[in-house]
Amino acid sequence: MRELKFHEKKLLKKVDFLNYKQDSNLREVKVMRRYHIQDREDYHKYNKLAGSLRGLAHRLSLLPAADPYRSEMEGQVLSKLYDMGLINLESKMSDVEHKVTVSGFCRRRLAVVACRMRMAETVSSAVKLIEQGHIRVGPQAVNDPAYLVTRSMEDFVTWVDTSKVKRTVMTYNDELDDFDLL
């Protein structure tokens, strides 16, 4: 190999071939693997939502503390985030800046909620059940594992009536009634 010329050496000083900018997404890959997110766009949407919520919380904190608009908006934001299941009931606006993360949105996905309700052993098996049409939210079957489940909808996550999995579970628990499954 020939010796590099001066301008080639100068260019090589600016480029790092060992660490690429695209490879610094370890957190993203870890979250996507843990919550079984298939589309990278879903992660980016959650990231944008969390960032905009943090920005909103920061802008509201810049308003004077005695401002009635600030207290009204803080109450609305906190109640909406509580209803979505992203924060606790006793949370403050400073918690929105620090505790609303991409993982919080991912924990409200239907696949994760179904796994937490012991409808599936793992999140990936819950994703398969959802895509096959075995799980419903309320009266309608949901085929999208990225469906966000709020606190009020969490009680209505059940098996589809015609599901073979439901029939197997009911047989195992000795609760099978053939009249209900017609």
Confidence of residue 23 (pLDDT cuts 50, 70, 90): low
User: For residue 110, what pLDDT is reported?
Assistant: 96
The region of weakest confidence among 2-6, 66-70, 100-104, 121-125 is 2-6
pLDDT at residue 181, rounded to an integer:
54
Return the SS3 of 138.
coil
Please write the tens of the pLDDT for every residue from 30-62: 999 999 999 889 999 999 999 999 999 999 999
Phi, psi of 158, deg, nearest 5: -140, 180
Given pLDDT bands bounded at 50, 70 and 90, which one contains residue 14?
confident
Instruction: For 59-98, write each residue's pLDDT tens digit.
Output: 999 999 999 999 999 999 999 999 999 998 888 988 898 8
Contact (Cβ atoms closer than 8 angstroms) between residue 43 and residue 102: yes
Decide if pLDDT at 2 tops 90: no
- Please answer whether residues 152 and 137 qualify as being in contact, where contact means their C-beta atoms are separated by less than 8 angstroms: no
What does the pLDDT look like over 126-181, one tens digit per residue? 999 999 999 999 999 999 999 999 999 999 999 998 888 888 888 888 887 767 65
Return mean pLDDT, the chain: 89
The domains located in the chain, with CATH, are: 22-106 (no CATH), 110-172 (3.10.290)
pLDDT at position 18 over 80: no
pLDDT of residue 19: 65
CA 52-58-62 angle, to 5 degrees, is: 145
Q: In what order do the strands lie in the sheet with 140-141?
A: 140-141, 135-137, 157-159
What percentage of the chain carries pLDDT values higher than 90? 64
